[in-house]
Amino acid sequence: MIVYAFQRSQIVSTWEKLRLFYRGILENGDKRTDDWLLVYSPVPISGIFSCYLFIVWVGPKLMKHRQPINLKPVLIVYNFAMVCLSAYMFYEFTAASWLANYSLLCQPVDYSNRPLAMRMARVCWWFYISKVIELSDSIFFILRKKNSQLTFLHVYHHATMIFNWWAGVKYVAGGQSFLIGLINSLVHVLMYLYYGLAALGPHMAKYLWWKRYLTSLQLLQFFIVTIHTTYNLYADCDFPDSMNAVVFAYALSLIALFSNFYYHSYLTKNKDA
């Protein structure tokens, strides 16, 4: 009985710690963004994450004995819509940071309800939602039976970005995080422009010689973010070191994965040629 009572008290204690931890997640965020879609609790985005991984796992199996689906009209609309959304976010990140006299070296989060602070918070939320929308990329690959493009890099990048930016909007909607959104939005203007042109048909192939440079640009953004975050880890800046540490580690992982992709996609092919 004594052992049973001890085990039961341990379970209750662990459950209570988890409950308090979860309450802390909910209550210690940016109050301005609590009521915004998919922000207050991590449960909805965790559900989306789980569904995404399930689809990536089971989707190719379901499509194995089926013909690929022609999604040309959908892809054209989707990719050019993402160009427009990315361009809008790039403009908003640039305008909000410029008008608020943001520092490139150290910029704390403005948690006030002033117009420019709210403008920056809103574009951070749009950037987060864009990462949820971008999960569609994987679904399109599956439906078109382009399973070779469902690489670890692709799934890892898409699946983790939604959590990174959930935390960004939940706790630091602005400040240093603006630079990541600004650079990535610009890169995605070019990336989805490339995909949109490619979706128009094979006759566009002669205009798409710049894919290699797009990958180089993606790598460059991760190097910029790493350098910027490294500076802020050692500088006296009123921005959470925990967030900087996560961004630093994540950027390094993407540098490693994208460098590997670049090497195998372009450098080894040139050697074989």
154 among known catalytic residues? no
229, two tokens: 């975050």
Q: Is 184 in contact with 131 (CB distance < 8 Å)? A: no
Closest CA to 207 of 221, 218, 196, 219: 196
For residue 175, give the DSSP letter.
G
Q: Is 115 in contact with 99 (CB distance < 8 Å)? A: no
Q: Which of 65, 154, 157, 188 is catalytic?
A: 157
Question: What is the C-alpha to C-alpha distance for residues 55 and 157, in angstroms, rounded to an integer?
Answer: 16
Side-chain half-sphere CA neighbours of 157 within 13 A: 21
Question: What is the C-alpha to C-alpha distance for residues 133 and 131, in angstroms, rounded to an integer?
Answer: 5
Residue 84 burial class via C-beta count within 10 angstroms: exposed 0-12, middle 13-18, buried 19 and up: exposed
Largest Cα–Cα distance in the chain?
78
Which stretches within 28-174 are classed as H helix? 42-63, 72-99, 115-133, 136-143, 152-171
Q: Would you name the residues annotated as active-site residues?
A: 157
